[in-house]
Amino acid sequence: MKLPPCAAALAAGALLACLTGAPGASAAQAAEAGALPGVNMEATVKAAQIDPRRSDHTLTPGAKAGVLLVEEALRDRHLLDAKWVDGYFGTTTVAAFAKFQRSLGRTGLAASGLPDTASLTRLGAGRFTVTHVIGPGARVSTGGVVVDTRTRSMLAEAKRLLGRDLVLLQGSYNRGGDPTSAGTHDGGGVVDISVKGMDSATRIAAVRALRRVGFAAWLRNPDQDDWPWHIHAAAVNDTDLSSQAQHQIGDYYLGLNGLAGRGPDDGPKVPIRTWEEYRRR
């Protein structure tokens, strides 16, 4: 028995193409068919940190499909030229997303071009859903400094792995704080940690523990940033990161040290992962 066209398509797992009339249905066509595609927020945010720091156009693994949907939506709002709809969340796409955030009445940290749940959901209305949602949580006080709840949880797990406390010298949301920090602490997800009383092996072990739970972390010496010996740590995929901290995350993934000179990473080698990836391991 010959099946009707759409029934045949359903049997072949291609109902969406049948309903839209095109095998390569766009997000808008998918919406009309009642089946919205999903944007993996974890992967998309990761790409927005790494891609602008690349010297080539290598795509961030697992991010292309979601980034394309974001770029198509920005294009259709006349915020991104069609030639940049390529699955690569580079500086041009970051700037376009920042324009979209500003169109929502946002300023400052809330319009950095790094996707957050609210702006990504608004952009995708009627076009795509947001999956693997992440967020920094509320601002809280810990160890005498301010961080977000996601960062506090990450620090608690790093302490557990290390088997000792970590004393914070500087927290997050510290705009106008120490000028030697170059703006990295203006947003969320970034802390400086004391190494006082730690021997060399313990210092490295602390950096390793922080990296394991999802921080881009480095042991800094006075010659690098005019501070006494300390650990600088920035939480990968914290959506409140300042632009400067976003760049450090990107450099971390590219094997660099997070400093202005972009030298090679000098920290312990561990599998790079986000906090969410660590919790799912």
Single-letter residue type at 144 = G
Q: CA-to-CA distance for 40 and 25, rounded, in angstroms?
A: 19
pLDDT score, position 162: 98
Q: In this model, does residue 176 exceed pLDDT 90?
A: no
pLDDT tens-digit series, residues 101-110: 999 999 999 9
- Cα–chain center distance at 65: 16
pLDDT score, position 19: 31
Residues whose CB falls within 8 Å of the CB of residue 13, separated by 6 or more in sequence, listed in order: none
Q: In this model, does residue 12 exceed pLDDT 80?
A: no
For range 55-67, the mean pLDDT: 96
Q: In this model, does residue 5 exceed pLDDT 70?
A: no
Q: Is the separation of the CB atoms in 185 and 246 below 8 Å?
A: no
Tokens of residue 270, six digits: 């561990």
pLDDT score, position 18: 35
Q: What is the mean pLDDT of the chain?
A: 89
Tokens of residue 196, six digits: 């006082």
Q: How far is CA 168 from CA 9, 38, 66, 149, 211, in A?
A: 59, 38, 36, 15, 16
DSSP character for 275? H
Q: In this model, does residue 255 exceed pLDDT 90?
A: yes
Residue identified by tokens 């999802």 is 214
Q: How confident is the model at residue 180 (pLDDT cuts 50, 70, 90)?
A: low
For range 8-31, the mean pLDDT: 40
Q: CA-to-CA distance for 150 and 138, rounded, in angstroms?
A: 8
pLDDT score, position 23: 36
pLDDT tens-digit series, residues 256-274: 999 999 999 999 999 999 9
pLDDT score, position 7: 38
pLDDT score, position 116: 97
Q: In this model, does residue 79 exceed pLDDT 70?
A: yes
Q: How confident is the model at residue 74 (pLDDT cuts 50, 70, 90)?
A: very high
Q: CA-to-CA distance for 23 and 1, rounded, in angstroms?
A: 24
Q: In this model, does residue 139 exceed pLDDT 90?
A: yes
Q: CA-to-CA distance for 277 and 39, rounded, in angstroms?
A: 17
Q: What percent of the chain has pLDDT over 90?
A: 80
pLDDT score, position 182: 73
pLDDT score, position 113: 97
Q: In this model, does residue 68 exceed pLDDT 90?
A: yes
Q: How confident is the model at residue 202 (pLDDT cuts 50, 70, 90)?
A: very high
- Output 173 or 20, whichever has higher pLDDT: 173
What phi and psi values does residue 78 have, to the nearest 5 degrees?
60, 35
Q: CA-to-CA distance for 237 and 121, rounded, in angstroms?
A: 17
> Strand runs (DSSP E) across 107-241, as ranges?
129-131, 139-142, 145-148, 168-170, 190-194, 215-220, 230-235
Residues whose CB falls within 8 Å of the CB of residue 113, separated by 6 or more in sequence, listed in order: 48, 94, 95, 96, 97, 98, 101, 243
Q: How far is CA 125 from CA 27, 39, 79, 109, 119, in A?
A: 11, 12, 16, 23, 10
